[in-house]
Amino acid sequence: MDQGTTTVAVQGYLDDLANLQGDSPSEPVVRKLLARAVDRLHRICGRLLHRSYPRLMRGPLNLQPEELLSAIVERMIKSLRGIRPRNAREFFALAMRHMRWELNDMARRLDEQAYVAELRESREQVPLAPSVPTACSNMQRILDAIESLPEDEREVFHLVRIQGMTKPEAASVIGVSARTVHRRMNRGLMRLAQSLGDLVPSSPSPPGAV
């Protein structure tokens, strides 16, 4: 199912939601909307898990994209009772926010369980030194850095790097040129490199370098 066809179909259902009159029930339209978008949402869940939360896919959670998708569909059904995205762009941005919230909640609960287990096994019953960086804290820094990008750069980053769209596809969704998408992506990556540069291992000096 191609990106453009899905975007057009999603927009049609969003228009139907916006045109509901009075006490007309919205849930039947919402369920049709989610059923039409489910393939793309599933791909986004898989990419987000593999790229940003791979540890949740290992034990003890062994989280799979299908399980995350199920949780997101439930979240979106509730959210769309009060929120009306105006277009497919806003709809998928809303779904992405719910994915990050769900995954952050899971990661936090996993860390809490691991910490409690470590305390039980420790004779001294002392917490880890707060100055020692962890994979979780680094991941949170990366997510925070992405969220702190200017809106236009953040949107392009999510569409291309997380949803897996090509730059021309992202351009058609946003309504700008592919060159504009390219510029926004480059600016966003430069900002991320500046704010997260200390997480990149320094390259070893070449032989003979002083």
- What would the DSSP string read from start to end of 106-140? HHHHHHHHHHHHHHHH-SS--PPPTTS--HHHHHH
Least confident of 1-10, 34-43, 174-183: 1-10
Instruction: Label residue 210 by pLDDT band (50, 70, 90).
Output: very low
Position 53, amino acid: Y
Please give the torsion angle defined by the CA atoms of residues 164, 95, 153 and 160, in that order, rounded to the nearest 10 degrees.
Answer: 0
Cis check for the bond before 25: say yes or no (omega within 30 of 0).
no
* Dist. CA 41–CA 47, nearest whole Å: 10
Is 203 within 8 Å of 145 (Cβ atoms)? no
pTM above 0.85, yes or no: no
- Residue-level pLDDT at 36: 95
Report residue 70 as tokens: 């199920």
Is 156 within 8 Å of 192 (Cβ atoms)? no
- Residue-level pLDDT at 188: 92
Burial of 178 (0-12, 13-18, 19+ CB in 10 A): middle
Instruction: Label residue 51 by pLDDT band (50, 70, 90).
Output: confident
Tens of pLDDT along 124-144? 444 444 444 455 667 778 878
Instruction: Label residue 174 by pLDDT band (50, 70, 90).
Output: confident
